[in-house]
Amino acid sequence: MTTASEVLSSLQSAFPGAIKDPRVESDARLWATVDPKRIYDVCKYLTDKLNFDHYSGSAGVDWIANNEMEVVEIMASHGAHPVVAMLKVRTPRDNPSIKSLTGLYWNADWYEREIWEMFGINFENHSGLYPLLLSDELMGVWPWRKDFKGYPDLTTGQRAVALPTANGYTEFRIPPTPAEIEAGTVPKERPKYPSFREREEAEIKSDSEMIMHLGPQHAMVPGPFLLDILVEGERVRKGFLDVGYIHKGIEKIMENRTWLQGITYTDRMCYVASLSNNECYCGAVEKILGLEVPERAQYIRVIVEELSRIQSHLIGTGEFLTLIAGVGYAPWQYMIIDREHVISLIESVTGARLTHSFVRFGGVRNDLPDDFAEKCKITLPYIKSRINEFIELFAQDPIYDLRMKDVGVLPAETAKEVGIAGPALRASGVSYDMRVEDPILVYPDLDFKVITGTKGDCADRIDVRLREILESIYIIEQCLDRIPSGPIKPEAKVPKKVPAGEAYYRVEDPRGEMGMYVISDGGDKPYRVKVRGPFYATLQTLPPLLEGVYVADVVAIAGSMDGCPSEADR
Amino acid sequence: MGISDVIPVPVAIDEELEKWTIFGQPVADVWFTTTEKIHQIIEMGPIKNIFNWGRKNSVYFLMQPMGCCGVEMFVFGAAPYDSDRFGCIPRNTPRQTDVMIMSGYITRKYLPVFKNLWEQMPEPKWCIAIGECAISGGPFYDSYNIIQNTADYFPIDVFIPGCPPRPEQFLEGLMQLQEKIKQRKDKRGYY
């Protein structure tokens, strides 16, 4: 088994002088600063020689005091070893520019575009630096830089102005006010690029092709995103994605809230799985603080997170079945009725239906209610029987088979390469689960299987999700048997100020691998919080998956990913 | 314009008919008139109550989740809370809906889209703002990308606070809207 120190010594011998300030935090975490000129070669070496085949994302950090910008490349492996290498590249703040990794990793595209639009860091050799999350009017203000003047917002009380366009539509835009211009939030020069509409229309090559818009308003996906498909007859030739319709700037807001207040924002990042988001943020902060979580609190966290996974998979499957059934709401109603049972269980512990803010630094907010185990003994077998019923139902239905089998097939190799996450990855046969790869809490003591599919088609994805619910129920049953009595919070009071440091913490969200990179500068607020969301990674892989499929299958493929655009947009 | 101009009737009958009135208006005006005129007349007579009764009991809403409240809107429209009891059915296209439920944050990028959806809805239409974000920006009040003053853009009849509100609150808000429609106190002021 490769460990972090082995990776470091291998890197140092291959690139003498290029690796600075290395820090081996544990067997699974390696921090290092890499020479900006060598970052491409270092990443290539890691991928080719040391099995780092999973480019997990990148984060931008603005070190305004040092007059430097930093890009942190997060490198991991699809199950070969548990090491996560955090490679930092520094560039001067005046004209920030580093080498793009899009030549090595297909999925670096979106991460780099996001850093470009938020920080203004240029990526050399990147083929399409277009805005991803921000609207055109916010381009060039670089909102995540520390000296961004538009925070708090100055747009309060303004009205949007209706602007008639040449093609007969009306656009609504918020023009800058004199106050904003005076404050300097309006950039003097904006980057030049073709707009989203122009880019997709440039792809139309013949008269037989046309563009179909799916969205941004979707009836059965919990958030808006725009999926445009270029169709030729019945076949899709190319897909285009436009996200950012509910971009709230959570990462920027969290920099301006205290550590504890940040928990409430993680709830609202992905509201279908807010407990795993809580866990991810609190775990990262606990790592910096060096806090030990009491055992009872660990069990309570596992129980509520697995319950959260059950309800998330139920709503995801229900949404998907409604999408493919067209007008039929029947499967949706079944799933929602079952989900209400789970929600009432979670509610009895956390006191809220969706936004819990339940996990705290070093523990949980409150203990399980007295009759929780009895309630579970009634609800869980019921859910189990229902899920078995659903699995049987789908296995028997010939129409479902025709619609789902061999649709949107994603082979294991491609799935790894494009960096898709969660059940969609496991459906392709890759056994990659954060609960096993990067174990947290009491997961190492628990007995559970990582559910994998075989082919990676739509039917497999749904099947994996449903069987994961059964596995979650099994985990909860074990936890309820083993849960010890004891404290649920650390004995000493958690300090308001977190010592300077940084941590990267990964959890298995219902949608896949979720990571949070938290930096503290010793103050009462985080210096930077970077969220590596699983649906962000999954959403990026949609356009290549859609190429060449029938129009009717587009909804089936997109729906089988179990979308939560809010978490992609943050 | 007299009736004899349109239908061949004896002049005597025409003169007689001109004296007749309906809701205080000459009958001839009412018979050969525009939709607008009909609306004016309905407004004057007791038939408006029947119209409003029909409107209030068939408020279809647009299924358009935009945030956390959108997930509660799913549940509100589905079997456990069953908004159907109040004549409130989720629809997938704005062309078939009467109520826009603003179920989350409106960002700078989404505002034009949302305004388009609102304009695609046929009259009469109403708007409900659900959750803190839709009312005032909520926890994201100072974000660079969130629109706070939604009431400036849309005639919001009912505000339902909560983060997110429970589906029961959705039902209560819906009943408040129905009461407003019944009493003709809604913002758009239909009859």
Average pLDDT, chain B: 80
Q: How far is CA A364 from CA A279, A305, A350, in A?
A: 10, 12, 10
To probe the interface with B, which of A146, A246, A311, A321 has the most B CB atoms within 10 Å?
A: A246
> How many CB pairs below 8 A link A and B?
147
CB contact at 8 A, A343 and A353: yes
**pLDDT tens digits in sequence order for chain A, 570 residues long:** 678 788 888 888 888 888 888 888 888 888 889 888 888 888 888 888 888 888 888 999 988 888 889 999 898 888 788 888 888 998 888 888 888 888 888 888 889 989 998 888 888 888 888 888 888 777 878 888 888 776 666 555 555 667 777 766 666 666 666 666 776 667 777 778 888 888 888 888 888 888 888 878 887 888 888 888 899 888 898 888 888 888 888 888 888 888 888 899 988 888 888 888 999 999 999 989 888 888 899 999 999 989 999 999 988 888 888 887 654 577 788 888 899 999 999 999 988 888 888 888 888 888 888 888 898 899 999 999 999 988 888 888 888 888 888 888 888 888 888 888 888 888 888 888 888 888 888 888 888 888 888 888 888 888 899 999 999 999 999 999 988 988 888 888 888 888 888 899 989 888 888 899 999 988 888 999 999 888 888 888 888 888 888 888 888 888 888 888 888 888
In our burial notation (b when 16+ CB lie closer than 10 A, e otherwise), range A407-439 reads: bbbbebebbbbbbbbbbbbbbbbbebbbbbbbb
CATH number for domain A1-143, candidates 3.40.50.2300, 3.30.460.80, 3.30.200.20, 3.40.190.10: 3.30.460.80
User: How confident is residue B33, by pLDDT bands cut at 50, 70 and 90?
Assistant: low
> What kind of architecture, by CATH, is found in domain A250-569?
Orthogonal Bundle (1.10)
Beta bridge partners of A485: none
Nearest alpha carbon to residue B164 among B77, B112, B94, B103? B103
| B126 token code pair | 């109403």
Cross-chain Cβ contact A246/B67 below 8 Å: yes
User: Is residue B71 less than 8 Å (CB to CB) from chain A?
Assistant: yes
Half-sphere exposure at residue B47, Cβ-oriented, CA atoms within 13 angstroms? 9
Q: pLDDT by residue (tens digit) across A377-414? A: 999 999 999 999 888 888 888 888 888 888 888 888 88
- The letter for the amino acid at A325 is A
CATH topology of domain B60-182: Rossmann fold (3.40.50)
User: What is the enclosing helix (H) or strand (E) of A43?
Assistant: helix A39-50
Q: Which residues of B touch A148 (CB under 8 A)?
A: 144
Strands B25-26 and B21-22: antiparallel
Q: pLDDT by residue (tens digit) across A309-324? A: 999 998 888 888 888 7
DSSP-assigned letters across all residues of A149-191: S--S-S-TT---EEEE-TTS-EEEE-PPPHHHHHHT-S-SS--
Q: Which residue has the higher pLDDT, A262 or B50?
A: A262
Cross-chain Cβ contact A219/B63 below 8 Å: yes
Give percent of chain A above pLDDT 70. Answer: 94
What is the signed CA dihedral for B104, B168, A332, B110, rounded to 10 degrees?
Answer: -10
User: Is residue A196 less than 8 Å (CB to CB) from chain B?
Assistant: no
Cross-chain Cβ contact A272/B140 below 8 Å: no
User: Is residue B131 less than 8 Å (CB to CB) from chain A?
Assistant: no
Question: Min CA distance, A165 vs chain B (Å)?
Answer: 13
Give percent of chain A above pLDDT 90. Answer: 8
In terms of CA atoms, which chain A residue is nearest residue B163? A355
Residue A268 exposed, middle or buried by CB count within 10 Å (0-12, 13-18, 19+) = buried
Q: Where are the domain boundaries for CATH 1.10.645.10 in chain A? A: 250-569
In terms of CA atoms, which chain A residue is nearest residue B154? A159
pLDDT at B6 over 80: no
CB contact at 8 A, B133 and B104: yes
Q: How far apart are CA A22 and CA A200, in angstroms?
A: 44
Pick from A156, A264, A340: CB nearest B148: A156
Cross-chain Cβ contact A271/B149 below 8 Å: no
In terms of CA atoms, which chain A residue is nearest residue B68? A271
Q: pLDDT by residue (tens digit) across A153-171? A: 655 555 566 777 776 666 6
Q: How far apart are CA B87 and CA B58, in angstroms?
A: 5
User: First CA to last CA across chain A, in angstroms?
Assistant: 36
DSSP-assigned letters across all residues of A359-428: EETTEESSPPPTTHHHHHHHHHHHHHHHHHHHHHHHHH-HHHHHHHTTSS---HHHHHHHT--THHHHHT
Q: How far apart are CA B4 and CA A189, in angstroms?
A: 72
Question: Min CA distance, A335 vs chain B (Å)?
Answer: 10
Q: Which residues of B touch A336 (CB under 8 A)?
A: 74-75, 78-80
CB contact at 8 A, B144 and B52: no
Q: Which residues of A touch B113 (CB under 8 A)?
A: 216-217, 224, 245
User: Is residue A191 less than 8 Å (CB to CB) from chain B?
Assistant: no
How many CB atoms lie under 10 A from the CB of residue A181? Answer: 11
User: Is residue B95 less than 8 Å (CB to CB) from chain A?
Assistant: no
Measured at the CA of A318, the angle between CA A313 and CA A320, to 5 degrees, comes to 95
Q: How far apart are CA A33 and CA A37, in angstroms?
A: 12
Half-sphere exposure at residue B110, Cβ-oriented, CA atoms within 13 angstroms? 34
Q: Which residues of A touch B101 (CB under 8 A)?
A: none
Q: For position A381, what pLDDT does the model report? A: 92
Q: Where are the domain boundaries for CATH 3.30.460.80 in chain A? A: 1-143
Most distant CA atoms of chain B, gap in Å? 75
Q: For position A133, what pLDDT does the model report? A: 87
Q: Domain-by-domain residue ranges, chain B?
A: 3-45, 60-182
Cross-chain Cβ contact B109/A245 below 8 Å: yes
Q: For position B23, what pLDDT does the model report? A: 67
Q: Which residue has the tokens 């579970």?
A: A376
Q: Which residues of A touch B64 (CB under 8 A)?
A: 217-219, 224
Q: Which residues of A touch B111 (CB under 8 A)?
A: 160, 172, 174
Q: Which residues of A touch B148 (CB under 8 A)?
A: 153, 155-156
Q: For position A310, what pLDDT does the model report? A: 92
Range name among A408-412, B26-30, B91-95 with the lowest pLDDT average: B26-30
Q: Which residues of B touch A246 (CB under 8 A)?
A: 66-67, 104-105, 107, 110
Q: For position A327, what pLDDT does the model report? A: 46
User: Is residue A157 less than 8 Å (CB to CB) from chain B?
Assistant: yes
Cross-chain Cβ contact B78/A271 below 8 Å: no
To probe the interface with B, which of A130, A167, A247 has the most B CB atoms within 10 Å?
A: A247
Q: How far apart are CA A301 and CA A291, in angstroms?
A: 15
Pick from B68, B74, B153: CB nearest A355: B68
Instruction: Please state the rounded mean pLDDT for residues B21-29.
Output: 70
Q: What ipTM, to 2 d.p.?
A: 0.83
